[in-house]
A and B are shown apart, each in its own frame.
Chain A
Amino acid sequence: MSGSQWELPPELCCRPMAFVALTGLDVTYNAVHRAIWDAFCANRRADRVPISFKVLAGDHEYPKCRTKRTSYEWYIPKGILKTGWMHKHLNLVPALVVLFYELDWDDPQWKEKQSECATKVEIVSLQGRNTKVAVVLIQKKTPLPPGEDLVASERASSLCNACDLSGKSLFVLPHTDHLVGYIIRLENAFYEHAQTYYYTEIRRVKSHKEFLNKTTHQLLFVRHQFKIAFFSELKQDTQNALKYYRTAYSLVHELRAHETNMLEIKTMAGFINYKICRLCFQHNTPLDAIAQFRKHIDLCKKKIGSADLAFEHTAWMSKQFQSFGELFDEAIKLGLTAIQTQNPGFYYQQAACYSQDRKLTAQQLCQAGAVCPIPDPLDTPTGGLDFYGQRAWRQGHQSIDPPDPEKERTGILALQIKERDVPHSELIIALLSNAVAQFKKYKCPRMKSHLMVQMGEEYYHAKDYTKALKLLDYVMCDYRTERWWALLTAILSTALRCSYLMANVKDYMAYCMELLGRASTLKEEQKSRIEKNLLKVLKNEVPDAEPDCEPSGSSAAAALWKDRMAPSGSNEFSIEVQDYVPFIQCKARFLAPSFHVDQPIQLQVFLRADCPHPISFNKLSVSLSNQSYNQWCVVEASGQDPMLLTPGETSCFSFNFVAKTQDVGKKIEMTGIELMLGSGRWVFISWRGAGGDAASAHEALQASRSARPRGPGSGARPEGAWDALTIQHSTMIISRVPKISVQLSHQPPALNNEMYCITLSIQSQEEGVAREVRLTAGLKPGQDANLSQATHVTLDRGQVCDASDPALLPDIPLGDLNPGHKVEQRVYVRCVSTGPRVFLFHVAYSINTSVDGQEIDCNCHKDETIAIETVEPFDVSSKFVSTKLEPLDRVVVDIPFVLMTDLLSSSPWPLLLHSSSLQLVTMATCTPHPQSQLEQVVLQTGECASECFCLQCPSGAEANGTVATGQYVISWRRESSSLDTPLVHTTVPLPHIPLENIPLYIHAELPSFGRVRETLPVRYHIENRTALVQQVEMAVEPSDAFMFSGLKQVRLHILPGAEQQMLYNYYPLMAGYQSLPQLNISLPRCPATDTHTLRRFLPQRIFVKPQGRELDDASIAAA
């Protein structure tokens, strides 16, 4: 019972339930009884009444009831509460005894059975307690409704009389289908009986009060209040129970406390407090519980009791906190919500804290050498205590002074010896880990870390170094990232001791290195001591013991270290320090973010030691992403002379190497830096990437914020210069700078479809021969995808390039280029759509050069890009007009018309039009050998060239809808271009035009002008174009300007395909433009064709010259 002395008794912690004893049931051999018992105990859920049942034999002996005291006058109580009392009322003294008996109302042997039953009731010996007996008759038949079975009611009352029972205590249990239902009704009835029992018990205890007096019976006040409260709980009256417990609690603290009974008072106060808190949580008033607990702690904190047994107080305090934490936790599991600042974790933490105190006081008070006195004063005749919280060697003793000082001394000694064997660390760790779990739940990561540190320290004290290191290692990085150096140093110191005691070489060195680093807050002399130890380890020697370790552990550790020293094991250690703050700082950088391939790559490694004494190293090496360069980045101590790092000074190591030409365009990264220390043991300190550690990022940030002067010049503050060193962990290798010039000459903008000439001249300024000069020319990739379809590049000037030519001509070989020489190349570009384009001219070559005395063959290239706009050279518009030059919206089959084209130059450069031609589809030209009217015309910007063609749609053409006319082809070039430049043929589609047929065609034949009062003969030709005979009615309307002779009105018939001529002689009367007399024509058979449609073929006006002076005829003819 050593550890459990402080445990709360289970009967205190359980929920009290009414105790009902069942007798007369044979659950082993009788199946019916078994079923009844199972129905009682199975499925006891929250909706069933709270009763604890127990099957007892019919003649079971219940605890004796002592004879009731009639007077308390001479009675002096020996303690507050007997240890067996709660157990007795929970499990031994029933509130009701139920006798089960198999008896049907119509049993043939009723009389005998009734008397047997009465005997059984009598046997139940209750020893004078108030417990009642109830009888349950197990019957095979279903009973009739009450009042109908006369035999039953008569026999029931006779049975009650025989057994001396009240009618309410007799029950019938028909053993039929609905057993569970009957059982539930039965237990409800039992519950009522139990309630009555506990009520009477409460009354009984209360009745004692009047006999008590305040001087001698103080203990009884507490005892009685506790009992009433406990009975109330049994009665499930928790509100009243809480009230009585609270009274009991205040009474406990009114007791006269002295050293001899302090433990008893505290024990009882703890019990009652536990009950109160438990009920408060149960009533869902957690704040009351917390307030009660705080009050309890405040009241009891100072009641330490005997100074020799101070650990008892801390143990008790710890238990108080722990059990409250458990209650709190349990309430949370049942639905209570806790918060960050009020959760069970705090109570567990405090419990752990008191346990730590307990350990300390126990270590002080319990001497190691003491031997347990014989006989053991803690032994009691009964094996336990009569009253809670009393001393085994003076039970029942209530006066202030101990009865026997000698006994008291041995008793205390025995207790101290017992305390010595308590596994304190285990208790503390268990409590801490409980607290950790809680704080994790309530978002307190730092509290969690803190507790884990405590756990680690406790494991250290318990000599479980492996676990200690595991925990400490786990939290160390939290403190490191949050930069709490003082705390980190403390944890590291503990970890160092652990690793020393375990002789864990690698960890020991790692902790030493960090403790020597700049994050450590240790004093200089401690650092000095640690560094000496580290140097010893590096020399494969045994380090000195850590000062705070106990001597026995240290000597064991020294032996372990000696074993480690044996050269059998591997004596090489690799420690990655990137995530720590090690004592050697490292930063590395490439001198530039990029290097040309013909420059040596330069890289610097800076090292700085923060330890108090200089430290030497054997080797420094940098690994790069391309491992073939690693060989250049190593520096090794030569012979016996190691390299030295002086504290506080920055050492710089520079490395140069030449990049390989195949690495052009690639990145070189530092993947790690390794520093080898030691002489006997080899330790490789390694940094990932280009150095830096857990603290350097912040330092660099602070340095950048600082207003102080910094950089290599500021010698006054080396720290600032160090912090301001930036890491450059990668560099690009880029190609050599080309030493050639590339010039482009051209005449922008480009004209659509032309062969645009760009002249490229490349001049070498190299000192050697530029070999294999290659040109890539054309559209720069990455532009609009459609552009590559609409752009063609060629070197061949002889012909216009077509769609088969690519948009980009790659790798045109231009041969070698000697120093100072120049090469020219023309490139022709044809753009078949307008808009801007970017052209790329990429000249690449290779050349031999030397870097650092090393010959390398490197490729150089130079890019030129130009943006060229492409514009249309000219706009072409065309229109259709009649032979009278009137605009036409349709043309008529077999009747000539005129196509006019206008060509407006929009080119900034003069254009030479070579020729133009028509490619007709439906139409035919009226001119037998048409010749271009634009041949060899030069157009300046904004000038316009027009041309007209007389066309006719041949008869027989399909005359519905529109017809295509054809294309207009213009051949041209820039005027400035040389004669052998191929011509550009621009094809312009001509518009479509509606085509129609007419039944009748009329045209007039007349002179080009008339003269006043001279005859003007006009002949009208009327053609019938149908296959029918056409009747034509013609009439000439009178006109003021003309007189005329001829048929004024006529009707004719024209045969199919035939032509009729009508001759009129007009006689002009007025000069100027005159309207000819109107000719009205109508076709009665073709109403669609009338004067209007035909009139467009006829001239409307004529110019009439005035009558001249009488000159000779020749002069008139000339006019």
Chain B
Amino acid sequence: MAVCIAVIAKENYPLYIRSVPTQNELKFHYTVHTSLDVVEEKISAAGKAMADQRELYLGLLYPTEDYKVYGYVTNSKVKFVIVVDSSNTSLRDNEIRSMFRKLHNSFTDVMCNPFYNPGDPVQSKVFEGMVSGMMVQVS
């Protein structure tokens, strides 16, 4: 399961970041922020090839010694980033994909809320609960 989940706005500022409380939160902020370099590059590369039938899942962005960072970008250029512990080898690509899909669905629900102003930080409790379900459970 993930150690950090982030939703990044189209303009690359964070809408939502949640990381496991046991570790340095700032470090995850930096990890997510730096991963945007790769996301941007991948988007621009994909944009040149096929704009309409682009794959939303960007795959493994880059490996660090301790974490694996995965990316996903919606058609409205909102980015999802999931950070997974490197030692967690049980997670398959497919599971990561399904995590992103769940995240995307839940985020779509947030956007459908007429009281949510797109571009504001996400504060939905339902979204929060869904993210908690995907995070590493700290006992």
Contact = CB atoms under 8 A, between A and B. Distances in A.
A445 B38 CA distance: 10
Contacts of B65: 297, 350, 353
Contacts of A483: 11-14
Given A341-B62, A702-B120, A487 B38 contact: no
Contacts of A340: 37-38, 41
Interface stretch (A126-134, A703-711, A810-818, A1096-1104): A703-711
A707 B34 contact: no
Contact of B30 (A445, A487, A698): A487
Interface in B11-36: 11-14, 17, 25-26, 29-30, 33-34, 36
A447 interface: yes
A707 B119 contact: no
Interface string B104-121: 000000000011011110
Contact of B13 (A484, A705, A708): A484
Given A353-B65, A446-B34, A446-B36, A706 B117 contact: yes
A483 B120 CA distance: 12
A706 B118 CA distance: 8
Interface string A445-489: 111001001000000000000000000000000000011101100
A341 B61 contact: yes
Contact of B33 (A346, A450, A706): A450
A490 interface: yes
A444 interface: yes
Given A341-B62, A443-B41, A483-B11, A707 B115 contact: yes
Contact of B29 (A297, A443, A484, A707): A484
B37 A447 contact: yes
Contacts of A708: 115, 117
A599 to B, nearest CB: 37
Given A483-B11, A705-B118, A444 B34 contact: yes
B67 to A, nearest CB: 12
A443 B41 CA distance: 8
A487 B120 contact: no
Contacts, number: 65
A486 B29 contact: yes
Given A483-B13, A484-B13, A446 B37 contact: yes
Tell me what chain B mostly uses at the interface: helix, strand, loop, or mixed: mixed
Contacts of B33: 446, 450, 482, 484, 487
User: Which of B65, B114, B118 counts the most A-chain CB atoms under 10 A from its CB?
Assistant: B65
Interface in A681-734: 698, 701-702, 705-708
Contacts of B30: 450, 453, 487
Contacts of B115: 707-708
Q: How large is the interface on A (under 10, 10 to 19, 20 to 34, 35 or more residues)?
A: 20 to 34
A487 B34 CA distance: 12
A1099 to B, nearest CB: 92
B38 A705 contact: no
Nearest to B119: A702
B26 to A, nearest CB: 5
A248 B32 CA distance: 40
A486 B4 CA distance: 15
B117 A445 contact: no
Nearest to A706: B117
A443 B34 CA distance: 11
Given A341-B61, A705-B118, A707-B115, A447 B14 contact: no
Nearest to A484: B33
Given A341-B61, A707-B117, A450 B26 contact: no
Contacts of B34: 444, 446-447, 450
A341 B25 CA distance: 24
Interface string B40-75: 010000000000000000000110110000000000
Contact of B119 (A353, A443, A450, A705): A705
A443 to B, nearest CB: 6
A446 B26 CA distance: 15
A882 B105 CA distance: 100
B110 to A, nearest CB: 15
A705 B120 CA distance: 10
A805 to B, nearest CB: 64
Interface string A970-1008: 000000000000000000000000000000000000000
B15 to A, nearest CB: 10
Nearest to B62: A341
Interface in A306-358: 340-341, 346, 350, 353
B37 A444 contact: yes
Nearest to A354: B65
Nearest to B117: A706
A674 B19 CA distance: 42
Interface in A287-305: 297
Contacts of B64: 346, 350
A498 to B, nearest CB: 18
Given A484-B13, A702-B119, A705-B117, A445 B29 contact: no
Nearest to B31: A450
A486 B25 CA distance: 10
Nearest to A453: B30
A437 to B, nearest CB: 16
A882 to B, nearest CB: 84
A701 B25 CA distance: 29
Given A350-B65, A446-B37, A487-B33, A482 B12 contact: yes
Contacts of B120: 702
A147 B36 CA distance: 77
A482 B29 contact: no
A707 B114 CA distance: 8
B26 A490 contact: yes
A982 B11 CA distance: 76
B119 A487 contact: no
A490 B24 CA distance: 12
Contacts of B119: 698, 701-702, 705
A353 B67 CA distance: 14
Contact of A443 (B13, B25, B26, B37): B37
B52 to A, nearest CB: 25
A340 B34 CA distance: 12
Interface string B86-126: 00000000000000000000000000001101111000000
A558 B64 CA distance: 42
Nearest to A349: B64
B90 to A, nearest CB: 17
A341 B38 contact: yes
B117 A484 contact: no
A80 to B, nearest CB: 27
Interface in A351-399: 353
A205 B71 CA distance: 53
User: Which of B29, B33, B114, B118 counts the most A-chain CB atoms under 10 A from its CB?
Assistant: B33
Given A341-B61, A482-B13, A702-B117, A487 B37 contact: no
B41 A487 contact: no
Contacts of A353: 65
Contacts of A350: 64-65
Interface in A421-459: 443-447, 450, 453
Given A341-B62, A350-B65, A705-B118, A484 B14 contact: yes
A484 B25 CA distance: 13
14 contacts: A340-B37, A340-B38, A350-B65, A443-B37, A450-B30, A450-B33, A483-B13, A483-B14, A486-B14, A487-B26, A698-B11, A702-B117, A708-B115, A708-B117
Interface of A: 297, 340-341, 346, 350, 353, 443-447, 450, 453, 482-484, 486-487, 490, 698, 701-702, 705-708
Q: Can you list the 7 inter-chain pairs with the closest CB atoms, starting with the nearest?
A: A483-B13, A444-B37, A447-B34, A341-B62, A706-B117, A446-B34, A446-B37
Given A346-B62, A487-B26, A706-B117, 16 more contacts: A340-B38, A341-B61, A444-B34, A445-B37, A446-B33, A450-B34, A453-B30, A482-B33, A483-B12, A484-B13, A486-B17, A487-B29, A698-B119, A701-B119, A702-B120, A708-B117
